A and B are shown apart, each in its own frame.
Chain A
Amino acid sequence: MQNFQQNLAKLEAADTQVLGISMDSPFSNKAWAQQINVTFPLLSDWGGDVTKQYGLYNPKYKAARRVNYLIDKEGKVVEMQLDSDAIDPTKTVEACESRKLNR
């Protein structure tokens, strides 16, 4: 999430809202957000309903897989990065910026 925070200004300039999401409690997310200075919402999917609906539940860790989605203004998924490819948000930033330019 620190990587997204570092790119937040670029993403916001490209009309993009960042939402983190995990199966942590809101309390864990609050403590973590304060520790690492994350200012965008960290959403609590406590129980994992959304994680399971997206097909990202990893039973081995009882947690979500690491996945980045870019969803356009119409609600359609236009980019997706999985697991270790999802750590670096550069592709998401570039996709947002090129979408803005092509508009």
Chain B
Amino acid sequence: MKYLITTALVAGMLLPTLRAADKPAETAPPPAVKIGDIAPDFTLTDQNGNKVSLHDFKGKKNVALAFYIFAFTGG
């Protein structure tokens, strides 16, 4: 029971924060990269330790690049 109450409390505190993080901050500047721009290249490490670059897919595939706020959250 105590565990349940703690879980509910923690979830209750966390949820509004995560919801707020999804709202466009009124002061947030527009993204630097917009429709029509060439997406800046990058090379980053994935969850299996592999290096992945945007240019790996050039001329081969479209890329759906999904920025997310934190691991272990929804979306």
Contacts and interface: CB of A to CB of B under 8 A. Distances in A.
Contacts of A53: 32-33, 40, 42
Contacts of B2: none
Nearest to B30: A55
B18 to A, nearest CB: 9
Interface residues of A, number: 64
A93 to B, nearest CB: 9
B31 interface: yes
Interface residues of B, number: 48
Contacts of A87: 22, 74-75
Contacts of A64: 67-69
Given A41-B52, A54-B33, A73-B58, A83 B24 contact: yes
A65 B67 contact: yes
A56 B67 contact: yes
Interface in B18-44: 21-25, 28-42, 44
Interface of A: 1-4, 11, 14-22, 24, 26, 28-33, 35, 41-45, 50-51, 53-56, 58, 60-61, 63-80, 82-84, 86-87, 89, 92, 96, 99
